[in-house]
Amino acid sequence: MTRHAAVRLLLGMALPIALAACSTPQGGTPPPSSSPVTPPAAQPVVSEVVGDLDVPWDLAFLPDGAALVTLRDRGEVVRIEDEEVSTVGTVPGVVAEGEGGLLGLAISPDFARDRSVFVYVTTADDNRVLRMALGDNGLGSPEPVLTGIPKAGNHNGGRIAFGPDGQLYVATGDAGDTSAAQDPDSLGGKILRITPDGDAARGNPVPGSPVWSSGHRNVQGLAWGEDETMWASEFGQDTWDELNRIVPGGNYGWPQVEGAGGRSGFIDPVATWSTADASPSGIAVAKDGSVVMAALRGKSLWRVPVEGEGGDARAGEPERLLEGQHGRLRDVELAPDGSLWVLTSNTFRGEPREGDDRVLKVTLR
């Protein structure tokens, strides 16, 4: 199936109540688009924070303003402070094969009290979430929080983040088993919501189950707006990558639907891109309320304006930023000063330039 070149967008309708659909081998119906993508008014201001990182995957800020970054293949966590990089520890048991390894990273909301750092890792047997204490001597011994997440050479998901409710959200992939996304007993192809101790959080759609939403192919971006609207980015198969709005119990259609299928029981994405233009990974909500998405194959930072709030919100025309300027982009995070920190990903499946991979500071304007 050929990859389409144009960005398609759902305009003129309220955001769905639940997360967007994933892909099908046959593909789905693209969302309507009333006009082509409009160019941004101005490109962002970009500066380099640090370089020479080996396959960085996720970034999170500590309360003191320093940042931690996971290095996928090395199984290493590094600290960035005052434009200097230092090692805080290596996570034991990481198996870096294919797209697996040391992936997601999240800082405890109670870090000042518990000093807890959470990571999503691929092991010899599964994908799992671990908790470690960050002390003066670096990372302590890992404690399993959630185990048994399906693993494979690809579609491992891997993004983790604490929501405004203090619960830990875990994005998993289908690990190549498309049926897992619709299987309520599988942890694959889901967004999970658990307590910091790994229990199914209270208020989940099915009591005792960690599943928050289902029907996902490979979610790698999670973020919340100031109104606590939850967003997720998702890799399509051959045709449509997606930006979705997540609500509890939503079914986003994979493997029956790719893109906007308009099918009963499944939730359509609020925006789609051809896989050549996106291959989305991390996302963040910028200070102006727009959703900003890092694109790997698309080698761009996509900014999607959000108009309105809650169920009345609409996605505006996406703006393509930094196209081709820094290669593949893996993650984007909102920094304490309101700028965006962006991870490049050229030392894996890219064309590394001198100094890759990097953390970039991006200021929208």
Q: What whole-number distance in Å separates Cα of residue 94 and Cα of residue 341?
A: 26
Please report the beta strands in 174-265, taking only residues with DSSP state E, as ranges in sequence order. Answer: 191-194, 211-213, 219-224, 230-234, 240-246
Domains of the chain: 8-363 (2.120.10.30)
Q: With 80 as the cut, is the pLDDT of residue 11 above it?
A: no
Which residue would you say has higher pLDDT here, 19 or 218? 218
pLDDT digits (tens, 9 = 90+) for 219-233: 999 999 999 999 999
**What is residue 39's predicted lDDT score, i.e. its pLDDT?**
52
Q: With 90 as the cut, is the pLDDT of residue 126 above it?
A: yes
**What is residue 295's predicted lDDT score, i.e. its pLDDT?**
98
**What is residue 327's predicted lDDT score, i.e. its pLDDT?**
98
Q: With 80 as the cut, is the pLDDT of residue 263 above it?
A: yes
**What is residue 215's predicted lDDT score, i.e. its pLDDT?**
98
Tokens of 208: 């005792």
Tokens of 97: 């094969």
Cα dihedral 191, 212, 14, 2, rounded to 10, equals: 30
Over its C-alpha atoms, the chain yields an Rg (Å, rounded) of: 19
Q: Are 253 and 266 in contact (CB under 8 A)?
A: yes
**What is residue 316's predicted lDDT score, i.e. its pLDDT?**
86
pLDDT digits (tens, 9 = 90+) for 32-45: 433 345 554 478 99
Whole-prediction pTM: 0.89
Please give the DSSP secondary-structure letter assigned to residue 112: H
The answer for residues whose C-beta is within 8 angstroms of residue 270's C-beta and 6 or more apart is 9, 10, 15, 16, 20, 243, 244, 245, 315
Tokens of 75: 């199984």
Q: What whole-number distance in Å separates Cα of residue 292 and Cα of residue 82?
A: 25
DSSP H helices, the chain, are: 111-114
Tokens of 51: 């370089």
* pLDDT, mean of residues 56-81: 98
User: Does an H or E element contain 281, and which?
Assistant: strand 280-285
